Structure 1
Amino acid sequence: MPLPLEDYALIGDCQTAALVGRDGSIDWLCFPRFDSGAVFAALLGDEENGHWRIAPQGEIRACRRRYRPGTLVLETEFDVDGGTVRLTDCMPPRDALPDVLRLVECRRGSVKMRMDLVIRFDYGSIVPWVQRTDHGISAIAGPDMLRLRTDVPVHGENFRTVAEFELQAGQSASFDLTWYPSHEREPRQIDHSGAIHDTERWWREWSDRCSFGEGSCDGAFDREHWAEAVRRSLITLKALTYAPTGGIVAAPTTSLPEHLGGVRNWDYRFCWLRDATFTLYAMMIAGYHEEARSWREWLLRAVAGKPSQMQIMYGLAGERRLPELQLPWLPGYEGSSPVRIGNAAYDQFQLDVLGEVMDALHMCRRVGLEPMGISWNLQKELMDFLEGVWDQPDEGIWEVRGPRRHFTHSKVMAWVAFDRAVKAVEHFGRDGNVDRWRSLRDQIHREILDRSYDPEVGAFMQSYGSKLLDASVLMMPLVGFISPRDPRMVGTVRAIERRLKRDGFVDRYESDPRVDGLPPGEGSFLPCSFWLADNYAMMGRRDDAIELFENLLSIRNDLGLLSEEYDVAAGRLVGNFPQAFTHIGLINTAYNLSAATEHPAEHRQHS
Structure 2
Amino acid sequence: MASFIEDYALLSDMNTAALVSRAGSIDWFCAPRFDSGAVFASLLGDRENGRWLLAPLESVNPSPVEEVRTERSYRENTFILQTVWHVGEASVRVTDFMPLAGGTAIVRSVEGLTGEVTMLQELNMRFDSGKTTPWVTQYDGPADSTGAVDVSQSMLVGMAGPHALVFRGDTIPEGQYGNHTDTFTVSAGQNYVFSLNYFASNHNPPAPIDYSTAITYTTAQWTEWSDLYVPPAIAEATENEISAIRTVPNEEISAESTTSSSIGLPSTNREGEAITNTQLPEIDLATYHELAQTAMHPIVPSTPEQIQTQNDESYREARLRSLLVLRALISRETGGLVAAATTSLPETVGGRRNWDFRFSWLRDVAMAMEVTLAHGHERETAQLRNWIMRAVANSPYNLHSVYGVAGEKDDLERRLALPGYENSQPVRAGNGSDDRFQGDALGQVLVTFAHLRENGVGEDQLSWSLQKALLNSASERIGQPDQSMWEIKGDPHVFTHSQAMLWAAFNAGISAVQEHGLDGDVELWAQCRDRLAQDILSQGFNTELNSFVQTYGGTHVDASLLQLAQIGMVTWDDPRMMGTVARIERELQHESGMIYRYINVRGFDGFEDQDNLHFAASLWLAEHYIRSGREADGRALLDTVLSAANDLGLMSSEYSYAENRQTGNFPHTLAHIALVRAVQALEI
- TMscore range, shorter length: over 0.9
**Is 2:72 aligned against 1:65?**
yes
Distance 2:432 2:443 in 1: 22
Q: Hey, what does 1:333 align to over in structure 2? A: 421
**Is 2:537 aligned against 1:449?**
yes
How many residue pairs align between the two structures?
593
- Equivalent of residue 437 in structure 2, options 338, 345, 349: 349
Distance 1:399 1:561 in 2: 24
Distance 2:235 2:366 in 1: 22
Aligned AA (2:654):
E
- Equivalent of residue 447 in structure 2, options 335, 345, 359: 359
2:136 is paired with a residue of what secondary structure?
Answer: strand
Q: How does 1:154-303 map to 2 (within 5 A)?
A: 154-156=173-175, 159-212=178-231, 216=235, 223-303=312-392
Distance 1:516 1:58 in 2: 47
- Equivalent of residue 106 in structure 2, options 90, 94, 100: 100
Q: Hey, what does 2:3 align to over in structure 1? A: 3
Does the Cα contact within 8 Å between 1:51 and 1:118 map onto a contact in 2?
yes
In structure 1, the gaps of 5 or more residues are: 596-607
Q: Hey, what does 1:603 align to over in structure 2? A: none
2:475 is paired with a residue of what secondary structure?
Answer: helix
Q: Hey, what does 2:511 align to over in structure 1? A: 423
Distance 2:193 2:460 in 1: 47
Distance 1:305 1:340, change over 3 A: closer
User: Pairwise CA RMSD of aligned residues?
Assistant: 1.8
**Is 2:399 aligned against 1:310?**
yes
1:266 is paired with a residue of what secondary structure?
Answer: coil
Distance 2:315 2:435 in 1: 38
Q: Hey, what does 1:588 align to over in structure 2? A: 677
Aligned AA (1:452):
G
Aligned AA (2:139):
T
Q: Hey, what does 1:518 align to over in structure 2? A: 607
Aligned AA (1:565):
E
Distance 2:74 2:356 in 1: 27
Distance 1:398 1:340 in 2: 18
Distance 1:110 1:222, change over 3 A: closer
Distance 1:308 1:514 in 2: 32
1:259 is paired with a residue of what secondary structure?
Answer: coil
Distance 2:599 2:39 in 1: 38
Aligned AA (1:207):
S
Does the Cα contact within 8 Å between 1:351 and 1:390 map onto a contact in 2?
no
Distance 1:119 1:429 in 2: 58
Distance 1:202 1:485, change over 3 A: closer
2:385 is paired with a residue of what secondary structure?
Answer: helix
Cα deviation, 1:167-205, whole Å, max 9, x if unaligned, reads: 111011110100000011121112123212221122122
Does the Cα contact within 8 Å between 1:277 and 1:363 map onto a contact in 2?
no
- Equivalent of residue 568 in structure 1, options 619, 633, 657: 657
- Equivalent of residue 373 in structure 1, options 458, 461, 465: 461
Q: CA deviation at 1:455?
A: 2.6
Aligned AA (2:375):
A
Q: Hey, what does 1:434 align to over in structure 2? A: 522
Q: CA deviation at 1:82?
A: 5.3
Aligned AA (1:582):
A
Cα deviation, 1:267-302, whole Å, max 9, x if unaligned, reads: 000110111332112101111011011101110111
Aligned AA (1:98):
T
Does the Cα contact within 8 Å between 1:566 and 1:573 map onto a contact in 2?
yes
Cα deviation, 1:237-271, whole Å, max 9, x if unaligned, reads: 10001001111101010000100110000000011
TM-score by structure 2 length?
Answer: 0.84
Q: Which has the larger radius of gyration?
A: 2
Distance 1:58 1:222 in 2: 39
Distance 2:603 2:182 in 1: 54
Q: Hey, what does 1:20 align to over in structure 2? A: 20
Distance 1:56 1:305, change over 3 A: closer
Distance 1:358 1:366 in 2: 12
1:301 is paired with a residue of what secondary structure?
Answer: helix
Does the Cα contact within 8 Å between 1:136 and 1:154 map onto a contact in 2?
no
Q: Hey, what does 2:272 align to over in structure 1? A: none
Distance 1:513 1:130, change over 3 A: farther
**Is 2:122 aligned against 1:119?**
no
Distance 1:354 1:212 in 2: 32
Q: How does 1:49-64 map to 2 (within 5 A)?
A: 49-59=49-59, 61-64=68-71
**Is 2:487 aligned against 1:480?**
no
Distance 1:12 1:297, change over 3 A: same
Distance 1:471 1:303 in 2: 27
Q: CA deviation at 1:212?
A: 4.8
Cα deviation, 1:451-503, whole Å, max 9, x if unaligned, reads: 01123333211101122221111111111111222222111111110110112
Q: Hey, what does 1:42 align to over in structure 2? A: 42
Distance 2:92 2:663 in 1: 31
Distance 1:5 1:453 in 2: 39
Distance 1:311 1:452 in 2: 24
Distance 1:245 1:212, change over 3 A: farther
Q: CA deviation at 1:566?
A: 0.9
1:258 is paired with a residue of what secondary structure?
Answer: coil
Distance 2:24 2:629 in 1: 46
1:140 is paired with a residue of what secondary structure?
Answer: strand
Q: CA deviation at 1:507?
A: 0.4
Distance 2:235 2:497 in 1: 35
Aligned AA (1:123):
S
Aligned AA (1:104):
V
Aligned AA (2:578):
V
Distance 1:247 1:214 in 2: 32
Aligned AA (2:225):
W
Distance 1:66 1:157 in 2: 34
Distance 2:478 2:442 in 1: 10
2:633 is paired with a residue of what secondary structure?
Answer: helix
Distance 1:66 1:159 in 2: 31
Q: Which 10-residue stretch deviates more, 454-463 or 38-47?
A: 454-463
Distance 2:395 2:177 in 1: 54
Does the Cα contact within 8 Å between 2:510 and 2:525 map onto a contact in 1?
yes
Does the Cα contact within 8 Å between 1:246 and 1:297 map onto a contact in 2?
yes
Distance 1:577 1:332 in 2: 15
Does the Cα contact within 8 Å between 2:122 and 2:173 map onto a contact in 1?
no
1:594 is paired with a residue of what secondary structure?
Answer: coil
Does the Cα contact within 8 Å between 1:256 and 1:574 map onto a contact in 2?
yes
Distance 2:431 2:607 in 1: 15
Distance 1:351 1:393 in 2: 9
Q: CA deviation at 1:54?
A: 0.5
Q: Hey, what does 2:581 align to over in structure 1? A: 493
Distance 1:415 1:222 in 2: 39
Aligned AA (1:550):
D
**Is 2:483 aligned against 1:408?**
no
Q: Which 10-residue stretch deviates more, 301-310 or 340-349?
A: 301-310
Aligned AA (2:79):
L
